[in-house]
Amino acid sequence: MATSSASAIFRSSSVKPPVTSVAAATSLAQKLLSFKQTSPLISQSLKLSSSSSSAASSFTRRSFSCKSQSDPSTDSRSSKIQELHVYEINERDRGSPAYLRLSQKTVNTLGDLVPFSNKVYTGDLQKRAGITAGICVLIKNEPEKKGDRYEAIYSFYFGDYGHIAVQGPYLTYEDTYLAVTGGSGIFEGVYGQVKLQQIIFPFKLFYTFYLKGIPDLPTELLGKPVAPSTTVEPTAAAKACEPGATLSNFTD
């Protein structure tokens, strides 16, 4: 495991190291670092020498701009958090949810299963993104809260961009955080969590994803989200899935 840890050190986040002045730098002993570089610039043109601070005085004030040249998609997982906002809306035209009362009891009871699939819109409600699809397993009815606890396992589909898979608690009476378990397409390798907020139970939900481990999201998905309220609606164009108001090959 130690070797993998070593490589883990070298591949870390997309933090850009700050440029330092010579004065600050001289206080750091010069260490020779040998590390794997894919950039030929580094391996060929770099001359390293270590010497005492007297050498530093001959070091003119030259600033190096260090920028990460790495391709994030080939790098190991970036730990930068990216927020993604989406709305999930049940327009009651997908036969969803399908409440399977397999417990055969009148009150919601462990044994009931609820497959479901709703429409997904970008957070700014300008574009139809795709759908959600999955299952809610009823765990417990909470009479004092006048609601239920479900274990939810489902995915969010974003057309050609791919999908995000999640798993975690769905409480009909309060907001929850689910785990982001993985994804495909631009979301391949994703991890993190997602906050679920019910706007109108059970028809409108607002999600805030806190995603890590993936390259920068396309700007199309990063529009300024409409603040959740009971009256928010997707634009007519998005609802009608007009060209320009959907993601490419949005999932339907």
Partner 1 sequence: MAACGNPAALKPIFSSELIDNRVASSFKSGGNLHFWQSVSSQNLKISTTNHSFSTRSGSISTKAFFWNIFKTKPDSSRSTKVQELYVYEINERDRGSPAYLKLSKKEVNSLGDLVPFSNKLYSGDLNKRLGITAGLCVLIQHVDEKKGDRYEAIYSFYFGDYGHISVQGPYLTYEDTFLAVTGGSGVFEGVYGKVKLQQIVFPFKLFYTFYLQGIKDLPTELVVKPVTPTPAVEPSAAAKAAEPGATVSNFTN
Site for partner 1 in 17-36 (CB under 8 A): 17-18, 20, 22, 24-25, 28-31, 33, 35-36
Stretch of 13-21, 117-125, 222-230, 240-248 lying at the interface with partner 1 (CB under 8 A): 13-21
Kindly identify the residues of this chain, within the stretch 115-144, that bind partner 1 according to CB under 8 A: 135, 137-140
Nearer to partner 1, 147 or 182 (CB): 182
Residue 47, token pair as written in the block: 């001359």
Residue 235: exposed, middle, or buried by beta-carbon count in 10 A (0-12, 13-18, 19+)?
middle
Nearest to 199 by CA among 234, 166, 164: 234
Nearer to partner 1, 111 or 241 (CB): 111
Kindly identify the residues of this chain, within the stretch 50-109, that bind partner 1 according to CB under 8 A: 51, 55-56, 58-60, 62, 64-70, 75, 77, 79-80, 102-103, 109
**Total number of residues binding partner 1 (CB under 8 A)?**
87
> Across-strand partners of 138?
150
Stretch of 89-97, 164-172, 217-225, 230-238 lying at the interface with partner 1 (CB under 8 A): 164-172
Alpha carbon 11 to its chain centroid, in Å, reads: 20
Nearest to 220 by CA among 251, 185, 178, 248: 248
Report strand pairing: 119-122 vs 176-183.
unpaired
Nearer to partner 1, 59 or 201 (CB): 59
The dihedral over CA atoms of 13, 16, 21, 23, expressed in degrees to the nearest 10, equals 0
Stretch of 39-47, 91-99, 125-133, 233-241 lying at the interface with partner 1 (CB under 8 A): 39-47
Choosing from 133, 180, 214, 238, the residue that interacts with partner 1 (CB under 8 A) is 180
Decide: 228 and 206 in contact? Cβ < 8 Å. Answer: yes
Q: Does 181 bind partner 1 (CB under 8 A)?
A: yes
The dihedral over CA atoms of 174, 130, 186, 68, expressed in degrees to the nearest 10, equals -70
Nearer to partner 1, 134 or 223 (CB): 134
Q: Does 16 bind partner 1 (CB under 8 A)?
A: yes
Nearest to 80 by CA among 68, 92, 95: 68
Nearer to partner 1, 121 or 150 (CB): 150
